[in-house]
Structure 1
Amino acid sequence: MRLTILGGGGFRVPLVHAALLGDHAEGRITHVTLHDLDAGRLDAVARVLAEQAAGVPDAPVITITTDLDEALRGADFVFSAIRVGGLEGRAVDERVALAEGVLGQETVGAGGIAYGLRTVPVAAGIAERVARIAPDAWVINFTNPAGLVTEAMSRYLGDRVIGICDSPVGLGRRVARVLGADPDRAWIDYVGLNHLGWLRGLRIEGRDELPRLLADPGLLGSFEEGRLFGPEWLRALGAVPNEYLHYYYFNREAVRAYQQAERTRGAFLRDQQARFYEETARPGTPALRTWEATRAEREATYMAENREAAGAGEREASDLESGGYENVALALMRAIARDERTTLILNVRNGSTLSVLDSEAVIEVPCVVDANGAHPVSVAPLPGHATGLVCAVKAVEREVLAAAESGSRALAVKAFALHPLVDSVNVARRLVEGYTAAHPGLAYLTRK
């Protein structure tokens, strides 16, 4: 089986490779092609992978290329893990938004819209190329904003593109551990959009144990989301939100914390990763050890501003362990390639799963996966407060898609103005002005 990784010079590629190295079964990935526009980053990541694979006799063969068509030919699976504009683009997204007093996070609010407007045209172009050059390939989308980008690609690839995220998996595993259950044996009732979902139940041998968690303040305060949102709010909701909902429920505090931070998250990662690639390019640098040290620092500082605003303290050691999106991707590929039926929380087209959204809307829900792809499981309706938020954010995503397709500046303004975390049409107009001035990739927004 052949895997192509678009964005193959990205920092998190070694996580995927490490997961592949642990798979020795028949039908495993035997060839990996890394594609990136930056040859220097490709070389750096290839060095890390070579050191990772030392002593593994059946390690996948690694090929690197900057030619997209060459990368796609013969692929069975394609991972889309691109970052349009790089981390400098992310830092700009944050800075422009915060200057207007609104959130600049890369997947939520103004920052997410700006990133989506830059990324959707590129992702759509990739989807068209895949459909033409590798029509039988399955595309697994890592690219943020994951739900929005998956929906953009699905217009060309249908159900052969599946979006993944490790946030719901991590949430489910944390809740299961707190309840003393094996995370791999628990059924997680989770539904929403990417970075906008709620864990509404956790069934162990058919019994929902979430009420026991919600009734125990000690248990609620013992894991990441409990400390982030507070036991009182979780009991009021009757559910455990995805950590990204902290940006919605505590928006004022989150924006203030980001404004007061020495550097935004994007600026921190931009500088940190620049050092990694620079160091790894030097002859004699231990590439794998350098990558591991950089990654440890990256994970320890994840959502640091939100935890500070909530008084949640440092991340638990268990939350710094590997086992996130790369293992979701491996399980997804195994299920499709080997027809090993499994259940995963994925970003897929809605069909009739959530009646408040149309069939083409990409949602994030448990799916049964087999050789024919991912099939969303029937779920109970969302409560009113969650339905309102999901519908509002999906409407914003649709405006982003329409603006990207038409080049309409007016639709871009509309997308910003309709988002629940942007509080003024005038702010939306200034955001579009700021982002188009800062990003050459938004020069296409010329129509009124």
Structure 2
Amino acid sequence: MKKYNIVICGGGSTYTLPMVKTLLDNTEKFPISNITLFDTDESKQQKIYQAAQVMAAPIGVDIAQSYQLAETFSGADFVFMQIRSGGLEMRELDEKIPLAHDCVGQETCGAGGFAYGMRSVVDVVDIVKAVRGQAPEAWIINYSNPAAIVAEATNRVFPNDRKIINLCDMPIAILDGFAEALGTERQKLTPRYFGLNHFGWFTHLYDEQGNDLLPGIKQRLTEGNMMPEELKEDSDWVKTFEQLSKMATDLKGHIPNTYLQYYLYPEYIVSKSDKNYTRANAVMDNRLQAVQDQCDFIIENNTIEGSGLERGVHGTYIVELATALAMNEKKEFIMIVPNTGIIPNFSYGAMVEVPCVVSKNGAEPIHVGEIDTFYKGLMESQYAYEKLTVDAILNRDYDAALKALTLNRTVVNVDTAKSILDAFNTQMQFNLK
């Protein structure tokens, strides 16, 4: 069997070691010759690289690292993109500037997602150009946030590149929660889903016998009885599932992605937010140190045994997708693809998130059909925001940026949008004109 060369962009990410572990655990099904970690921040990547070397040595997989685009992608078969442009320091501003104006402060939704997108798109486009210059046939699996804006931009800049795959693991994380509640495995469930990234709904959930289990899930949500056991210790996730239960109770119809809480209850979200200590602060204070400690343990003991390192939803889903592409498995995945009639009464060409059948030829979306007025109205407005945001990024256009933020349901007011935009423009030097 062919052995594949993998490049992980964002090698210094806290998600990298679980990703590497997942790859190494699956080499019988998805053989690997080499894994290269790429990051522009040497201080963040170095220990992760050393720990990855310890993990890979017994299996005979080579681990390399790089800090320069020009010398990274030659010979690559797959490029996994998980970059965080600006790092956690910029994420903190993404969250705190909107909160200072009584708007939702979240890294991918609302004004915070807009600011994150202003940085991410530029870097993602540069990386894709570098990949295509060195490895024209490599699959690029992009799950860098904000995925909706990044997907819109890559589709616009590289319209004919069928080997750029955009996706997000959040629907899968939700499905894992559903599977746990049902006492089964996610891989035994077949979801039907539509929307935009972080802005979608589950319509059906079939088991292996074709039974729709979603009505039972909705009943449990309305009873407040759906919190996955493994997430009960994380207060942010507890709040997230509480809001999912509220959404399922308040609005009849499909079960929403958890991220819709930010758009449907923005005032409540702001009222429960700490404007001085956001999720970015929690990650910096806790997760970063935990990953460093884990790396130190692996390096010092020359083993991952006892380190507590586990696979995550994030890595598992990406490796499953890469395997389906390489091995022509024709499995279903929820992905972000152009709307070419998948949802006939929604904007043609918009990047929609829907189930797709994945083979060696890429993603073949499954037809959704027309959607009801409520969902269509929400999605058209959100897509207009995403489209204008990409206009603003690619053209450095202040007017497009202001209109984008005004359209976003977490902002709405023009004066507020202008104040937030001006703060972003000054503090982050976006140079919008």
| 3-state SS of paired residue (1:153) | helix
- Worse-superposed segment, 169-178 or 246-255: 169-178
Q: What residue number does 1:266 align with?
A: 280
From the superposition, tell whether residues 411 and 231 of structure 1 become closer, same or farther in structure 2 (CA, over 3 Å).
closer
How far did residue 354 of structure 1 move?
Answer: 1.6
1:169 pairs with 2:183: no
1:243 pairs with 2:243: no
AA in 2 matched with 1:227: E
What aligned pairs does 1:305-384 form with structure 2 within 5 A after superposition? 322-384=311-373
Q: What residue number does 2:53 align with?
A: 50
Aligned mates of 1:217, 1:439 — CA distance in 2: 40
8 A Cα contact 1:214 1:220, kept in partner: no
Give the number of aligned pairs: 415
Q: Per-residue CA shift, 1:51-105, capped at 9, x if unaligned?
A: 4336x324x2110011112111111111111111110000011111100110120
1:138 pairs with 2:139: yes
1:430 pairs with 2:431: no
Q: Per-residue CA shift, 1:411-431, capped at 9, x if unaligned?
A: 111111111110311111111
From the superposition, tell whether residues 226 and 99 of structure 1 become closer, same or farther in structure 2 (CA, over 3 Å).
closer
Aligned mates of 1:434, 1:84 — CA distance in 2: 18
Q: Per-residue CA shift, 1:329-383, capped at 9, x if unaligned?
A: 1111111111122111112222221224444322111110000011111113332
| 3-state SS of paired residue (2:251) | helix
How far did residue 238 of structure 1 move?
Answer: 2.5
Q: What residue number does 1:301 align with?
A: none
AA in 2 matched with 1:6: C
How far did residue 14 of structure 1 move?
Answer: 0.7
8 A Cα contact 2:221 2:249, kept in partner: no
| 3-state SS of paired residue (1:189) | strand
Q: Per-residue CA shift, 1:134-170, capped at 9, x if unaligned?
A: 2101111121001221221233163211122221112
How far did residue 282 of structure 1 move?
Answer: 7.5
| 3-state SS of paired residue (1:136) | coil
From the superposition, tell whether residues 230 and 335 of structure 1 become closer, same or farther in structure 2 (CA, over 3 Å).
closer
From the superposition, tell whether residues 431 and 181 of structure 1 become closer, same or farther in structure 2 (CA, over 3 Å).
same
AA in 1 matched with 2:76: A
| 3-state SS of paired residue (1:72) | coil
Q: What residue number does 1:160 align with?
A: 163
Q: What residue number does 2:233 align with?
A: none
AA in 2 matched with 1:127: V
8 A Cα contact 1:213 1:220, kept in partner: no
AA in 2 matched with 1:73: S
Using the size of structure 2 for normalisation, the TM-score is: 0.88
Q: What residue number does 1:183 align with?
A: 186
Correspondence for 2:44 among 41, 44, 65: 41
8 A Cα contact 1:347 1:363, kept in partner: yes
Aligned mates of 1:18, 1:290 — CA distance in 2: 12
1:257 pairs with 2:276: no
Correspondence for 2:215 among 211, 218, 222: 211
Q: Per-residue CA shift, 1:1-49, capped at 9, x if unaligned?
A: 1111111111111111011111132652221111111112221111221
8 A Cα contact 1:280 1:287, kept in partner: no
How far did residue 392 of structure 1 move?
Answer: 1.1
| 3-state SS of paired residue (1:337) | helix
8 A Cα contact 2:79 2:139, kept in partner: yes
From the superposition, tell whether residues 276 and 206 of structure 1 become closer, same or farther in structure 2 (CA, over 3 Å).
closer
Using the size of structure 1 for normalisation, the TM-score is: 0.85
| 3-state SS of paired residue (1:53) | helix
Q: What residue number does 1:2 align with?
A: 5
8 A Cα contact 2:9 2:79, kept in partner: yes
How far did residue 249 of structure 1 move?
Answer: 2.4
From the superposition, tell whether residues 359 and 285 of structure 1 become closer, same or farther in structure 2 (CA, over 3 Å).
farther
Q: What residue number does 2:234 align with?
A: none
8 A Cα contact 1:214 1:231, kept in partner: no
Q: Per-residue CA shift, 1:387-422, capped at 9, x if unaligned?
A: 111111111111111111111111111111111110
Q: Per-residue CA shift, 1:248-290, capped at 9, x if unaligned?
A: 2222121111136x61011222344554577689797669879
What 5-or-longer segments of structure 2 have no aligned partner? 229-239
From the superposition, tell whether residues 272 and 226 of structure 1 become closer, same or farther in structure 2 (CA, over 3 Å).
closer
8 A Cα contact 2:218 2:248, kept in partner: no
| 3-state SS of paired residue (2:192) | strand
Aligned mates of 1:95, 1:117 — CA distance in 2: 16
Aligned mates of 1:325, 1:287 — CA distance in 2: 25
Aligned mates of 2:94, 2:223 — CA distance in 1: 37
